[in-house]
């Protein structure tokens, strides 16, 4: 039985154990997936080195800090500056960014063709950076929207960075919410208002809780093609399992099983 874990701090709410257990039940992988929650990354690393853990996911607040413990980092994770998936081989850590891969899979699910299209990303954090790299790799034109454009220009090379006021005059193909605005408990907030949302064909909200954020509700009102963050969440987990176990897994199959569990009316995914 292989062992996989999620490392982070204050993450006992995570949906990942349910997701990975579903993957194990739907494939030939014989494994367990549990949470290693600790406020000191050095303690976590020591624990893992003294165990037979074969791989781990990394979440808040360690996606950047983990990099100094790696023997290898994939080119996209290096460019994004964050790692959320580590494979352990002979005690050495090999790091990847499966959020980036999950975003690419989400673009495919949405049937997007991004070549030479303008994609506006709201926010400039880790998820925004993974979106940025995915759009660049699809030959799209990413534009970052930030509350403080001048302070983040060094984070996104060869990329236009604008303020929310500048966004009023823009139109584009896809608008991505990569901010936490709209998630619980502030579910009646949207990072941008109707006037802006109307200027886009497709909307992607990386938030998966609630299922329909205000951002998505406005998009649906204007008949836009909308997607929330659940497929990305599932896809990054599936990609992690593929990396750890050297096999190929059907993400849509897992998604169709998990969507009901995730949005059970008594308990939404966190
Ligand atoms: P993060 O590193 O904290 O970055 C969020 C960014 O949003 C910040 O850099 C900031 O950009 C902007 N922001 C923060 N607070 C804001 C506010 N009050 N008003 C407007 N903008 C604000 O977070 P993250 O890890 O990138 O995650 C962003 C969102 O994506 C979260 O909701 C997270 O749950 C979701 N996510 C989903 C998945 C998935 O699998 N679906 C994966 C990762 C993340 P500026 O300062 O430049 O404005």
Distance, CA 68 to ligand 1 centroid (Å)? 23
CA dihedral in degrees (44, 47, 52, 57; nearest 10)? -10
| Residue range(s) of every CATH 3.40.50.720 domain in the chain | 101-228
> Of all protein residues, whose CA lies closest to atom 39 belonging to ligand 1?
233
Into which CATH architecture does domain 2-96+231-266 fall? 3-Layer(aba) Sandwich (3.40)
- The residues annotated with a catalytic role in the active site are 63
CA dihedral in degrees (216, 217, 219, 225; nearest 10)? 60
Task: Give pLDDT, residue 158.
Answer: 94
Decide if 54 contacts 1 (C-beta within 8 A): no
What atom in ligand 1 is closest to the CA of residue 151?
Answer: 47
What atom in ligand 1 is closest to the CA of residue 63?
Answer: 25
Q: How many C-beta neighbours within 10 Å does residue 15 have?
A: 20
Task: Give pLDDT, residue 260.
Answer: 87
Task: Give pLDDT, residue 61.
Answer: 96
How many Å from the N-terminal Cα to the C-terminal Cα in the chain? 27
> Of all protein residues, whose CA lies closest to atom 37 belonging to ligand 1?
206
Residues having CB within 6 Å of any atom of ligand 1:
99, 102, 123-128, 146-148, 152, 178-181, 183, 191, 206-208, 229, 232-233, 236
Segments of 149-247 assigned E as strands: 160-162, 172-177, 200-205, 225-227
Label residue 28 exposed, middle or buried (CB < 10 Å: 0-12, 13-18, 19+). Answer: exposed
User: What CA–CA distance (Å, rounded) separates 236 from 111?
Assistant: 18
Distance, CA 26 to ligand 1 centroid (Å)? 31
> Of all protein residues, whose CA lies closest to atom 7 belonging to ligand 1?
179
pLDDT, one tens digit for every residue, the chain (270 residues): 999 999 999 998 899 999 999 999 999 999 999 999 999 999 999 999 999 999 999 999 999 999 999 999 999 999 999 999 999 999 999 999 999 999 999 999 999 999 999 999 999 999 999 999 999 999 999 999 999 999 999 999 899 999 999 999 999 999 999 999 999 889 999 999 999 999 999 999 999 999 999 999 999 999 999 999 999 999 999 999 999 999 999 999 999 999 988 887 555 565
Q: What is the pLDDT of residues 97-112, one digit of tens each?
A: 999 999 999 999 999 9
| Residue range(s) of every CATH 3.40.50.10860 domain in the chain | 2-96+231-266
Into which CATH architecture does domain 101-228 fall? 3-Layer(aba) Sandwich (3.40)
Q: Angle at the Cα of 217 (from 107 to 141), degrees rounded to 5? A: 35
């Amino acid at each position: 039985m292989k062992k996989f874990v999620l490392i982070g701090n204050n993450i006992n709410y995570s949906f990942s154990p349910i997701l990975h257990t579903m993957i194990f039940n739907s494939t030939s992988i014989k494994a367990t997936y549990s949470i290693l929650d600790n406020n000191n990354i050095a303690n976590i690393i020591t624990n893992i080195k003294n165990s037979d853990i074969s791989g781990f996911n990394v979440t808040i607040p360690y996606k950047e800090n983990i990099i100094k413990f790696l023997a290898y980092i994939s080119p996209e994770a290096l460019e994004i500056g964050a790692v959320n998936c580590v494979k352990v081989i002979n005690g050495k850590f090999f790091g990847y960014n499966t959020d980036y891969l999950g975003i690419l899979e989400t673009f495919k699910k949405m049937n997007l063709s991004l070549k030479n299209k303008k994609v506006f990303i709201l926010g400039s954090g880790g998820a925004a950076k993974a979106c940025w790299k995915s759009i660049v790799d699809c030959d799209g034109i990413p534009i970052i929207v930030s509350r403080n454009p001048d302070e983040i220009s060094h984070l996104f090379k060869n990329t236009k960075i604008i303020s929310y006021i500048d966004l009023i005059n823009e139109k584009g193909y896809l608008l991505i919410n990569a901010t936490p605005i709209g998630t619980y408990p502030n579910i009646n907030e949207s990072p941008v208002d109707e006037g802006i949302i109307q200027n886009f064909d497709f909307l992607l909200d990386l938030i998966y809780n609630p299922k329909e954020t205000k951002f998505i509700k406005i998009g649906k009102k204007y008949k836009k093609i909308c997607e929330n963050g659940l497929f990305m969440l599932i896809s990054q987990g599936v990609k992690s399992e593929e990396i750890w176990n050297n096999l190929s897994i059907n993400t849509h199959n897992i998604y169709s099983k998990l969507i009901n569990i995730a949005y059970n009316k008594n308990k939404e995914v966190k």
